[in-house]
Amino acid sequence: MKREGIAILDPLGSHGGFHYYTDGLAEGVAHAGRRVVLYGYDLAPKPTAKYLRQSAFKDLYGPASKWLRALRYLGFLTRALVDARARRLEIVHMHSFHYDARELIAACLSRLLGFKLVVTLHDIDSFGSSSGKAGRSAITALADGLVVHNEFSRVALNPAGAPPGRAPVAVIPHGHYADRWGDSVSRAAARTSLGLPGDRTVALFFGNPRSEKGLDILLEALRLVQNKNLLVLVAGRIEENDLAGLRALEAGELAGRLRIDAGWIDDNAIADYYAAADIVVLPYLRIYESGVAIMAMTFGRCVVYSDLPPLLETVGTEGVSFRTKDPVDLAVTLDRLVQTHVNLDELGQRARRKVLSDRSWLKIGADTVRLYDAATARREH
C-alpha cells in the first residue's frame, strides 16, 4: 500500500496548550515512516523534530472582531491546504472539539481539494457550543477515518451502533507529556519558584474552571476538610466574572487554605505547578478525555478524580476516585490522604509508570498509521 504523506492541521496550538498533543502525534506518525507536515498555530522552532513544522495560523484569538478572525482563519486554512497539495500530501488529519463552522469548513475544504480526511474527536459532545450533534454528524460523514480516545467515547459516538457507511473508528489514547518534560524540577525548587510553603500538602486544580470542571465541588469540599494543612492551588485562565468570587473566597472564608493564580501560564511555569503539587484534583462533572490527568500522571503526581468512566479508564487504580458531584466524599478522600500519611509520591509514581506504558507516542503513531491505511482502503473501494 502507498505510504501517503500526512498534513496535520492545528489552528489551536499554543493558544490552548494543544501543541503538546500535535507535536507528539506528528513525531509518532513520522517515526512510523510517514512524511508529515504539521500546520500549527504560531509554532516555535524545534530543531529536533522528525517532521516539517509550518507556522500556518496566527492572530486568530484576541480582541479583533469575530468576522476578521474568521476571514484570517479561512485565508490561513486555504493557504495551508494548497501548500499540502503542492507537497503531494494525501491525508489531512484534523481535530474536532466544538463541531462549529470553522471545523466544518476545514473538513469540507479538505475533501473539496481531494484529500482523504481523518478526524480526531476529542469531545464527543461539544462543551459550551451550540453546534452540537448536527455539526458532529456533518463532519463525521465527510471523514474517511475517525479517532476517539477511549471506549467510553466510542460508545457515546454510536450509542445505537455505527450507521451504515460510517468511516472506521479507532480508539487511540492521548499520549503522555514525558517527551516535553522529561526531567522535572524538584518539588522544593518548584515551591520556591512559586512562593509556596514547603510544609503544606498542596492540591492543584489546573486549567480554565469551566462549569463542567467542577471547581465549586472542590471548594465546597475544602470547607469540609478537617486537616488545615491542605492548601488548594487553582492555576489557569479564569473568566473575570468567576475571578471576583474566587478572590473573595481567597481573602475571606478560605483565607490561608486557597490560593488563586489566575492568568496565562507559559510552558516553563507549567512544570513548576505540577512539580509543586502533592495531589492533582479533577472534580469534573463531564469529560471525554483529560489532558490534566495525563499531565499529572506524567509528572508522577497523585490524581484524585471524579469516578467518571473516562477517568476510570485513564487513571484507574493508580489514582484515588470519589463519587462524582459529591463534595462530602471528596472531603473525606482528601482528609484520608493527608491525615493517614498515605504515600502520595508512591501513588504518583505508579500513575507515571502506567501513563508511560499505556500512552507512548510511538505506539500512538503506529496505531494512527494503521487507521490511515484503513481510511485509504475505504476510499479506494
Same-domain status, 166 and 246: no
DSSP codes, 47-67: TT-SSEEEEEE-S-SSSS-HH
CATH number at residue 204: 3.40.50.2000
Q: Is it the case that residue 381 has pLDDT exceeding 80?
A: no
Could you tell me the residue range of the domain that residue 192 belongs to? 187-358
State the residue for C-alpha cell 487504580: 317
**pLDDT value, residue 1:** 54
**pLDDT value, residue 185:** 87
Same-domain status, 350 and 369: no
Per the CB < 8 A criterion, the answer to whether 277 and 203 are in contact is yes
* Mean pLDDT calculated for residue range 126-142: 79
**Could you read off the pLDDT of 296-334 as tens digits, one per residue?**
999 999 999 999 999 999 999 999 999 999 999 999 999
Q: Is residue 74, in this structure, part of any structural domain at all? A: yes
Q: Which amino acid is at 110?
A: S
DSSP H/E element including 8:
strand 6-9
The model carries a pTM of 0.91
Give the C-alpha distances (Å, rounded to integers) separating 299 from 65, 185, 316, 330.
Answer: 39, 10, 17, 22
| 56: nearest Cα among 36, 34, 79 | 79
Same-domain status, 281 and 368: no
Q: Which amino acid is at 219?
A: L
**pLDDT value, residue 133:** 82
Same-domain status, 10 and 133: yes
Same-domain status, 99 and 237: no
**Could you read off the pLDDT of 35-48 as tens digits, one per residue?**
999 999 988 888 88
